Amino acid sequence: MSTRRSPESLRSARWYGASDMRAFAHRQRTQQMGFRRDEFVGRPVIGILNTWSEMSPCHSHLRDRAEAVRRGVIRAGGFPVELPALSLGEVIVKPTTMLYRNMLAMEAEELIRQHPLDGVVLMGGCDKTTPGLVMGAISMGLPCIFLPAGPMLSGRWRGTTIGAGTHTRKYWDEYRAGRITDDDWLELEGISTRSTGTCNTMGTASTMTSIVETLGLCLPGATSIPAVDSSHAKMASAVGERIVDMVWEDLTPNRIVTEASVRNAVEVQAALGGSTNALIHLVAVAARAGVALPLDAFDEAARRTPVLANVFPAGTFLMEDVYFAGGLPALLSRIQDRLDLSCLTVTGRPIGESVGRAKVWDDEVIRPLDRPVTTVPAIAILRGNLCPDGAAMKPSAATPALLNHRGRALVFDSHAELSRRIDDPALDVDETTVLVLRGAGPVGAPGMPEWGALPIPKKLLDRGVRDMVRLSDARMSGTHYGTCVLHIAPESHVGGPLALVRTGDEIVLDVENRRLDMLVDDAELARRREAWTPPAPRYERGYTMLYQRHVSQADKGCDFDFLEAGAPTPEPEIF
Ligand code: FES
Ligand code: MG
* pLDDT (tens digit per residue) in 436-449: 999 999 999 999 99
**pLDDT surpassing 60 at residue 43:** yes
Index of the ligand 1 atom closest to the CA of residue 57: 1
The verdict on residue 550 lying in a domain is no
- In terms of domains, do 293 and 345 share one? yes
Q: Which of 100, 155, 152, 92 is nearest to 129 (CA)?
A: 100
Residue 453 amino acid letter: A
Domain annotation covers residue 28: no
**Closest C-alpha to ligand 1, atom 3:** 90
Omega before residue 253 within 30° of 0, cis:
no
Q: Are residues 138 and 75 in the same domain?
A: yes
Q: How far apart are CA 234 and CA 125, in angstroms?
A: 17
Name the DSSP letter for residue 379. -
450 alpha carbon, closest ligand: 2
DSSP string, 192-205: SS-SSSB-SSSSHH
Q: What angle do CA 143, 146, 148 make, to 5 degrees?
A: 170
Domain tally for the chain? 3
Instruction: Calculate how far, in angstroms, residue 566's C-alpha sits from the geometric centre of ligand 2.
Output: 30
Is residue 298 located within the same domain as residue 400?
no
Q: Which residue from 451, 521, 446 is spatially nearest to 486, judged by alpha carbons?
A: 451
pLDDT in tens, 90-99: 999 999 999 9
Does residue 333 surpass a pLDDT of 60? yes
Q: Which amino acid is at 364?
A: E
What is the extent of the structural domain holding 276?
43-154+194-357
* pLDDT of 518 strictly over 70: yes
Residue 546 lies in a domain: no
Q: How far is ligand 1, taken at its centre, from the CA of residue 43, in Å? A: 36
Confidence of residue 425 (pLDDT cuts 50, 70, 90): very high
Whether the CB of 450 sits within 6 Å of ligand 1: no
Is there a single domain that holds both residue 459 and residue 482? yes
pLDDT tier for residue 350 given thresholds of 50, 70 and 90: very high
The Cα–Cα gap between 469 and 194 comes to 33
Q: What pLDDT score was predicted for residue 282?
A: 98
**Same domain (yes/no): 309, 257:** yes
Domain co-membership, 326 together with 343: yes
The yes-or-no verdict on residue 235 having pLDDT over 80 is yes
On the question of pLDDT at 165 being above 90, the answer is no
CA of 197 to the centre of ligand 1 (A): 8
Q: Which of 59, 127, 475 to mutate to test the pocket of ligand 1 (most atoms within 8 A of CB)?
A: 127
Mean pLDDT, range 116-142, rounded to an integer: 98
pLDDT at 363 over 70: yes
In a domain, 51, yes or no: yes
Check if the beta carbon of residue 261 is closer than 8 Å to that of residue 340: yes
Rounded to the nearest whole angstrom, what is the distance from the C-alpha of residue 157 to the centroid of ligand 2? 21
Cβ(199) to ligand 1 under 6 A?
yes
Assess whether 390 and 511 both reside in one domain.
yes
Ligand 1 binding pocket mutation candidate from 51, 58, 275 (most atoms within 8 A of CB): 58
Q: If you average pLDDT over residues 404-430, what whole number do you get?
A: 97
Beta carbons of 61 and 201 less than 8 angstroms apart: no
Output the CA–CA distances (angstroms, integers) from residue 493 to 38, 437, 439, 452, in the order listed: 57, 12, 6, 16
Q: Indicate the DSSP class of residue 376.
A: S
- The answer to whether residue 149 sits within a structural domain is yes
What is the predicted pLDDT for the residue at 108? 98
Mean pLDDT of 56-73: 98
**Mean residue pLDDT across the chain:** 96
Residues 488, 471: contact at Cβ < 8 Å? Answer: yes
Q: What is the 3-state secondary structure (H, E, C) of 213-253?
A: HHHCCCCCCHHHCCCCCHHHHHHHHHHHHHHHHHHHHCCCH
Predicted confidence at residue 50, as pLDDT, reads: 98
**Is 510 domain-assigned?**
yes
- The rounded Å distance from CA 201 to ligand 2 centre is 9
278 and 423 fall within a common domain? no
**Is residue 313 over pLDDT 90?**
no
Give mean pLDDT, residues 14-41.
97
- In sequence order, which ranges of 12-162 are alpha helices (DSSP H)? 13-16, 21-31, 37-40, 62-75, 98-114, 129-140
Q: Is 277 in the pocket of ligand 1 (CB under 6 A)?
A: no
> Strand, coil or helix: what is 346?
coil
Task: Tell me if 203 CB under 6 Å of ligand 1.
Answer: yes
| pLDDT above 70 (res 178) | yes
Average pLDDT over residues 252-278: 97
In percent, the amount of the chain with pLDDT more than 70 equals 100
Residue bearing the CA closest to ligand 1, atom 2: 199
Residues whose CB falls within 8 Å of the CB of residue 27, separated by 6 or more in sequence, listed in order? 16, 37, 40, 41
Given 307, 326, 357, the domain boundary residue is: 357
> The CATH number of the domain where 431 resides is what?
3.50.30.80
Q: How far apart are CA 126 and CA 149, in angstroms?
A: 8
Whether 36 shows a pLDDT value over 60: the answer reads: yes
Ligand at shortest distance from the CA of 204: 2
Burial degree of 526 (CB within 10 A; 0-12, 13-18, 19+): exposed
Ligand 2 midpoint to CA 305 (Å): 24
Which residue has the least CA distance to atom 1 on ligand 1? 126
Phi-psi region at 169: left, alpha or beta (left = phi > 0; alpha = psi -120 to 50): alpha
Residue 2 has what pLDDT?
A: 57
CB 198 within 8 A of CB 477: no
Would 557 be classed as within a structural domain? Answer: no
Q: Is the CB of 58 under 6 A from ligand 1?
A: yes
Ligand nearest to the CA of 277: 2
| pLDDT band per the 50, 70, 90 thresholds, residue 335 | very high
Kindly state whether residues 174 and 206 are assigned to the same domain: no
C-beta of residue 405 within 8 angstroms of C-beta of residue 513: no
Assess whether 314 and 401 both reside in one domain. Answer: no
Residue 14 pLDDT more than 60?
A: yes
58 CA closest ligand 1 atom index: 1
User: Residue ranges of the alpha helices (H) in 351-394?
Assistant: 351-357
Ligand number nearest to the C-alpha of 276: 2
To test the pocket of ligand 1, the residue of 88, 90, 202 to mutate (highest count of ligand atoms within 8 Å of its CB) is: 90
Centre of ligand 2 to C-alpha 126, Å, is: 8
| pLDDT average, residue stretch 31-51 | 98
The alpha carbon of 356 and the centre of ligand 2 are apart by a number of angstroms equal to 31
Which pTM was predicted? 0.97
Residue 76 in domain: yes
Looking at the CA of 163, name the nearest ligand. Answer: 1
Q: Contact 270/305 with Cβ under 8 angstroms?
A: yes
Nearest C-alpha neighbor of 403 from the set 498, 508, 517: 508
Radius of gyration of the chain (CA): 24
Proportion of the chain above pLDDT 90, given as a percent: 93
Q: Phi and psi (nearest 5°) for 91?
A: 80, -50
Confidence of residue 321 (pLDDT cuts 50, 70, 90): very high
Neighbours of 375 (CB within 10 A): 8
Ligand 1 atom with minimal separation from the 56 CA: 1
Who has greater pLDDT, 564 or 332?
A: 332
Distances, alpha carbon 247 to alpha carbons 24, 244, 411, in Å:
24, 5, 54
Cα 417 to ligand 2 centre (Å) = 24
Atom of ligand 1 nearest to the CA of 164: 2
**Same domain as 266, residue 146:** yes
Q: Which ligand is nearest to the CA of 91?
A: 1
More confident residue, 214 or 170: 214
pLDDT value of residue 568: 84
- What mean pLDDT is predicted for residues 333-337? 98
C-alpha–C-alpha distance, residues 408 and 285, integer Å: 38
Is 221 found in the same domain as 98?
Answer: yes
What's the rounded Cα separation, in Å, for the pair 191 and 153? 11
Residue to probe by mutation, ligand 1, list 51, 55, 167, 199, most atoms within 8 Å of CB: 199
- The span from the CA of 62 to the CA of 53, in Å, is 9
Distance 523 CA to ligand 1 centre (A): 46
Q: How far is the CA of 203 from the centre of ligand 2 (A)?
A: 6
3-state SS assignment for residue 172? helix
